[in-house]
Amino acid sequence: MPNDLIPDHQAISPPGPSHGGRLAQPAPLFVGHSAAARDVRRQIQVAIGGNSAVLLVGAAGTGKRTVAEILQHFAGGHISDFTFISPLEQLGLDQQAELLRDLEHGRLVVGTRLDPDSPEAQARLSPELLRGCSIRIELPSLVERLDDLEALVIGLLHRVATTRPVGAISDEALDCLRSYDWPGNVAELEDVITEALAVGSTTQIERRDLPAQLRQRAPHRSSSTAPDQPFALALAERRAVERVMRLARGNKRMAARLLQISKTTLYRRLREYSLP
């Protein structure tokens, strides 16, 4: 389940007595084809190759539990215990420091919603534990991987129980999903799709099946004649910059990364369109 909102300090129980037993089960997946998703999978591959403690960094709902389950699934047969704890900052500093000492022969994976380099993290995360986590995997927010939305939705359609066959999502519904800020990330997306499946009646998710707050954010597609090409491109670019600046909540570095342009180019576009 792509959701790190789990009971505090939960350890994942081993799925089988041996490495072969684990591999006999379907492997969990970190779904997506975006550059951000591919980068996460590269980091996971590095972590699979060792037995070091792993620190997962990302906001709530970004998929820390999914990554932990992948690491557990492909863990070597010598691992007798596997512990995943998230969010780490809800433990006291002394408790955090004890984690590495208590787990002598197992694999420790911990998650945090804090930026480890921030002042808040320096006050709430154990320096000893952070030093002991030799592998760090950064999980992007959903707005940083909007290209993965359709793949994530299709994956959820195969997993979420429903009373009728549903195998697709309409273009209008997908537009609504793309226009939303997703403060709850992939976990919130799962809630939205689950609700849409419950209220819908066709073989695909329609715009009308989505929660009201999503439908109100995205205009209906228009079938009217398109404007002249130069005007259409400029308007589309301005709207893209406006939308990404809103999604990034004014963070120009994040906005430039989402738009896949340099900060210099972003500043030039902001001046051209008289945007703040």
For the record, the structure tokens of 148 come out as 């993965």
Q: Tokens 């919130």: give the residue.
A: 188
CB 71 within 8 A of CB 106: no
Please report, for the chain, the start and end positions of each structural domain, with discontinuous segments joined by +: 19-140, 143-215, 229-272
CA-nearest of 25, 23, 30 to 2 is 30
Which class for 118: exposed (0-12), middle (13-18), buried (19 or more C-beta within 10 A)?
A: exposed
Contacts of 167 (CB under 8 A, 6+ apart): 154, 157, 203, 204
CB 269 within 8 A of CB 237: yes
Q: What angle do CA 211, 215, 216 make, to 5 degrees?
A: 115
143-215 maps to CATH 3.40.1410.10: no
Q: Quote the CA–CA distance of 186 and 8 in Å, as a whole number.
A: 19
Contacts of 157 (CB under 8 A, 6+ apart): 166, 167, 168, 169, 193, 197, 205
CA-nearest of 117, 1, 103 to 54 is 103
For the record, the structure tokens of 39 come out as 């980068």
Fold identical between 19-140 and 143-215?
no
DSSP 8-state symbol, 127:
H
* pLDDT digit string (tens) for the chain, length 276 residues: 333 433 334 444 444 444 555 555 677 889 998 999 999 999 999 999 888 899 999 999 999 999 999 998 887 544 457 889 999 999 999 999 888 777 665 789 999 999 998 999 999 999 999 999 999 999 999 999 998 999 999 989 888 888 888 888 898 999 899 989 899 999 999 999 999 999 988 888 999 999 998 887 655 544 444 444 455 566 667 777 777 777 677 788 877 877 777 888 888 888 877 777
CB 176 within 8 A of CB 217: yes
DSSP 8-state symbol, 169:
E
Buried b (16+ CB within 10 A) or exposed e, 188-217: bbbebbeebbeebeeeebebebbeeebbeb
CB 187 within 8 A of CB 5: yes
CB 51 within 8 A of CB 76: yes
- Report the CATH number of the 229-272 domain: 1.10.10
CA distances from 199 to 143, 176, 194, 240 (A): 25, 17, 9, 31
For the record, the structure tokens of 11 come out as 């350890």
19-140 maps to CATH 3.40.228.10: no
